[in-house]
Amino acid sequence: QVQLVESGGGLVQPGGSLRLSCAASGSIFRMYTMAWYRQGPGKQRELVAAILPGGGTNYADSVKGRFTISRDNANNTVYLQMNSLKPEDTAVYYCKAAWIDAYWGQGTQVTVSS
C-alpha cells in the first residue's frame, strides 16, 4: 500500500510558476513509475508528465518546455515544476504511483487566472 500526499497548488497569474510536490509512503518508492495527471473543469483526466524508476521522462505536448518532472528517491518525493503557466493549465493535479498496483493522491487545485 502506498499513500500519496500532494501539495503546492494555488492561485497564480498567467506567466507565473508553481512547484507541486507529492510525498509517498513506503520503502520501495524507487521502484515506482511516478506521474502527474490533471483534470480540468468538464474535461477528462489526462497525463501531464511521468518519470520512470531510472529517471526517463515523458510529457504531454501541451506542457513540453514549460513543465519539469523530477524525483528524489531519498525522500520519497516527486515534483512538478510548472513555469509559464496558462489559464488552460487550470485543473486539479493528481499524483500517481504505478508498479504492480497503481495508487492516486487526493489532488491539489491549480488555478491560473489574472
* Residue 111's pLDDT band (cuts 50, 70, 90): very high
Tell me, letter by letter, the H, E, C secondary structure of the chain: CCCEEEECCEEECCCCCEEEEEEECCCCHHHCEEEEEEECCCCCCEEEEEECCCCCEEECHHHCCCEEEEEEHHHCEEEEEECCCCHHHCEEEEEEEECCCEEECCCEEEEECC
Query: Each residue of 1-59: pLDDT tens digit?
Result: 899 999 999 999 999 999 999 999 977 899 999 999 999 999 999 999 999 999 999 99
Question: What pLDDT is attached to residue 105?
Answer: 96
* Spatial CB neighbours of 57, under 8 Å, sequence gap ≥ 6: 49, 50, 51, 69
Question: What pLDDT is attached to residue 1?
Answer: 83
Query: Each residue of 57-95: pLDDT tens digit?
Result: 999 999 999 999 999 999 999 999 999 999 999 999 999
Question: What pLDDT is attached to residue 66?
Answer: 98
